[in-house]
């Protein structure tokens, strides 16, 4: 992994704090716009300890352990210890998850296939790059230090990195190679 990059797994379960610096829950997932160049985080899924409202709607009773998708405009800062939100709990803006691509749910650990449907490998890690308060998708890592990818996969990743002008020997498939995300598999343009 190159300097300035982080793994999605290191962000997940990170503390989420509101405008009054109160811990309100933890980070559950991130929604990304894959069409953007580079793909950028559009929403943050927060596992709230409790809430009594969803957006402007007051609920008849308080609910616990609820996951809400908040637009990225709610994110004030990304800190190594916590994610800070712009508003006070529970007065957050909320977003619909309809049609959204969630990295943990839809990408991490997912089966990758080539355009012909041949199985390649699973996504072992999702590599992100924070820039200020924004978060960009760098690519999909195959293999870990303790679990190297197969030679066939190394060759494919090397070819893709050359094609998209990525330096270094990292086993990260550049985001440009992601053709689409289907229900069962992530299609890679090999």
Binding residues (CB under 8 A) for other proteins: these are: 9, 109-112, 118-122, 124-125, 144, 147, 150, 152
Distance CA 50, CA 52 (A): 7
Which lies closer to other proteins via its Cβ, residue 9 or residue 59?
Answer: 9
User: What is the closest distance, in whole angstroms, from the C-beta atom of residue 58 to other proteins in the complex?
Assistant: 26
User: What is the closest distance, in whole angstroms, from the C-beta atom of residue 111 to other proteins in the complex?
Assistant: 5
Which lies closer to other proteins via its Cβ, residue 37 or residue 119?
Answer: 119
User: What is the closest distance, in whole angstroms, from the C-beta atom of residue 9 to other proteins in the complex?
Assistant: 7
Contacts of 25 (CB under 8 A, 6+ apart): 16, 46, 47, 48, 49
Contact by Cβ (8 Å): 27, 83: yes
CA angle (87, 88, 90) in 5-degree steps: 110
169 forms bridges with which residues in the sheet? none
User: What is the closest distance, in whole angstroms, from the C-beta atom of residue 122 to other proteins in the complex?
Assistant: 3
List the structure tokens of 180.
């689409």
Residue with tokens 């060759």: 155
Which lies closer to other proteins via its Cβ, residue 130 or residue 143?
Answer: 143
Which lies closer to other proteins via its Cβ, residue 12 or residue 78?
Answer: 12
């Amino acid at each position: 992994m190159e300097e300035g990059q982080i793994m999605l797994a290191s962000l997940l379960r990170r503390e989420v704090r509101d405008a009054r610096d109160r811990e309100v829950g933890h980070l559950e997932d991130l929604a990304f716009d894959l069409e953007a160049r580079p793909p950028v985080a559009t929403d943050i899924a927060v596992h709230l300890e409790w809430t009594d409202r969803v957006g402007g709607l007051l609920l008849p009773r308080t609910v616990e352990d609820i996951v809400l998708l908040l637009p990225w405009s709610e994110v004030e800062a990304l800190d190594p210890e916590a994610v800070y939100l712009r508003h006070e709990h529970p007065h957050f803006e909320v977003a619909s998850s309809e049609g959204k691509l969630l990295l943990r749910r839809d990408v991490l650990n997912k089966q990758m296939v080539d355009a012909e449907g041949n199985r390649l490998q699973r996504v072992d890690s999702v590599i992100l790059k924070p820039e200020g308060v924004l978060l960009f998708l760098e690519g999909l890592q195959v293999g870990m230090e303790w679990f190297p990818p197969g030679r066939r996969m190394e060759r494919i990743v090397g070819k893709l990195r050359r094609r998209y002008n990525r330096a270094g020997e990292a086993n990260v498939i550049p985001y440009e190679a992601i053709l689409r995300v289907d229900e069962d598999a992530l299609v890679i343009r090999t």
